Amino acid sequence: MFGLINLNKPATWTSHDCVAKVRKILKLKQVGHGGTLDPAATGVLPIAVGKATRLLSYMSDRKAYQAKIRFGVTTTTDDLEGEIIQTHSGEHLTLEVIQPHLEQFIGKIEQIPPIYSAIQRDGKRLYELARKGEIIEVPSRIVEIDDIKVLNWTQGEFPEIDLAIACGSGTYIRAIARDLGKALGVGGTLAQLIRTESCGLHLADSITLEQLEILRTRNNFTLISPLSALTHLETIYLPSDDAQRWCRGQAVAISLEPHPHPSVKVLTEEGSFLGMGIIISDSDNLILKPKVVLV
pLDDT in tens, 199-222: 999 999 999 999 999 999 998 889
Name, in order, each residue with C-beta under 8 angstroms of 128's C-beta and a sequence gap of 6 or more.
none
Residue 256 pLDDT > 70, yes or no?
no
- Would you state the torsion angle of the CA atoms of residues 6, 34, 233, 64, taken in this order, to the nearest 10 degrees? 70
Residue 120 pLDDT > 90, yes or no?
no
Question: Rounded to whole angstroms, what are the CA distances from 13 to 67, 140, 214?
Answer: 18, 27, 19
pLDDT bracket for residue 276 (50, 70, 90): very high
Backbone angles phi, psi at 29, to 5 degrees: -80, -35
User: Parallel, antiparallel, or unpaired for β 285-293 and 252-254?
Assistant: antiparallel
Residue 129 pLDDT > 60, yes or no?
no
Residue 5 pLDDT > 90, yes or no?
yes
Supply the pLDDT for residue 35: 87
pLDDT bracket for residue 121 (50, 70, 90): low
pLDDT (average), residues 157-175: 96
Across the strands, what pairs with 87?
73
Supply the pLDDT for residue 243: 96
Output the pTM of the full model: 0.90
Supply the pLDDT for residue 286: 85
Q: Give the domains, in start order, of the chain with CATH numbers.
A: 2-60+200-227 (3.30.2350.10), 63-198 (3.30.2350.10), 233-293 (2.30.130.10)
Amino acid occupying residue 84 = I
DSSP 66-122: EEEEEETEEESSSBTTS-EEEE---TT--HHHHHHHHGGGSEEEEE---SSSS-EET
Q: What is the pLDDT of residues 80-107, one digit of tens each?
A: 988 999 999 999 999 999 999 999 999 9
Supply the pLDDT for residue 136: 66
What's the CA gap between 11 and 42, in Å, rounded?
5
Measured in residues, the chain has a length of 295
Considering the chain, what percentage of its residues have pLDDT values greater than 70?
A: 91
DSSP 173-231: HHHHHHHHHHHTTS-EEEEEEEEEEETTEEGGG-B-HHHHHHHHHTT---PBPGGGG-T
Task: Tell which residue, 140, 30, 6, 126, has the closest CA to residue 76.
Answer: 126
Backbone angles phi, psi at 102, to 5 degrees: -65, -30
6 and 201 Cβ atoms separated by less than 8 Å: yes
Catalytic amino acids?
A: 38
Specify the DSSP class assigned to residue 255.
Answer: -
